[in-house]
Amino acid sequence: MGSPSTEAGRGDDETLHEVTISRPFFLGRTEVTQEQWATVMGTRPSHFADCGPQCPVESVNFFEVQQFMATLNARPEAALAYRLPTEAEWEYACRSGTTTPFWTGFTLTTAQANYNGRYPYGTSPPGVFRERPTPAGTFAASPWGLSDMHGNVWEWTSDWYAPYPAGAQTDPRGPASGEKRVIRGGSWFFDANSARCALRYTHAPADRGFSLGFRLAADSRAR
C-alpha cells in the first residue's frame, strides 16, 4: 500500500508499507448509481440528475451514505452486510493485482477512464474533458471486474485520514476519530494524477460535491 518514491505525482502521505487483508470481502462492480439510490432512499440528490439512472449518484455526504447502508441492512432478506470499504481494501481492489500507478499500467487515457483529460499523467496523451460523470460501466473493467476505480466520481471510504502507521499492518481501519474522511479514485473533474491507486484525498463528513459518490463493500451475513 502506498507508492514508491519514483512514482510521479506521489504525495508525502503515500509511504510504501506492507498490508495484509486477512478476510474476504465483497466490493461493488460499480459505484452506486442514481437508480439504486432512488430505489433505496426515494430521493434524487445528484447534481447531474439528467445524466441518467445508471450514472453514479453524487452530492451525497458521508452521513447520508451511512443512512443508505443502514436502510439496506435493515431489510430482512439482505444476504450481505453492507458498509464502506476501508482505505486499504479500496486500494487493494484498485490495484487488482498490479503494482503500477493505475491497474492499466503507468499511463491512463480518457478512453480508459473519465477524468479531466486536459491534465494527463506522465506520458499519457491529453484527452477529452467530458465535464460530467458517465454511466456506470462505460469503460473496460479491471482484471478483477471492477469499473471506474479510476475517475468518474470520488469514492468515500470508512477511514478517518491520518498518516500511515509505521511498519506492516493487518486489516488497518484508520484512527478512531478525526476531522476528515479519506476519499479515493479521482473524478471526471480532476486530473489523471488524482486517479492513481495510491493517491489519498479527503473531505469532511458533511461535505457534498458534484464529483463525490461511493461504492459499497459488504461481508457475508451470518445465517
User: Could you report the per-residue pLDDT of 174-221, keeping only the tens digit for each?
Assistant: 999 999 999 999 999 999 999 999 999 999 999 999 999 999 999 998
What is residue 183's predicted lDDT score, i.e. its pLDDT? Answer: 98
pLDDT digits (tens, 9 = 90+) for 32-90: 999 999 999 999 999 999 999 999 999 999 999 999 999 999 998 888 999 999 999 99
pLDDT digits (tens, 9 = 90+) for 99-127: 999 999 999 999 999 999 999 999 999 99
State the Cα–Cα distance between residues 181 and 156, nearest whole angstrom: 7
What is residue 145's predicted lDDT score, i.e. its pLDDT? Answer: 98
Domain ranges of the chain: 1-223
**pTM over 0.95, yes/no:** yes
What is residue 222's predicted lDDT score, i.e. its pLDDT? Answer: 67
What is residue 45's predicted lDDT score, i.e. its pLDDT? Answer: 98
What is residue 76's predicted lDDT score, i.e. its pLDDT? Answer: 87
Count, residues in the chain: 223
Does the domain spanning 1-223 belong to CATH 3.40.630.40? Answer: no
C-alpha to C-alpha distances, 147 to 15, 80, 127, nearest whole angstrom: 26, 21, 19
pLDDT digits (tens, 9 = 90+) for 150-172: 999 999 999 999 999 989 999 99
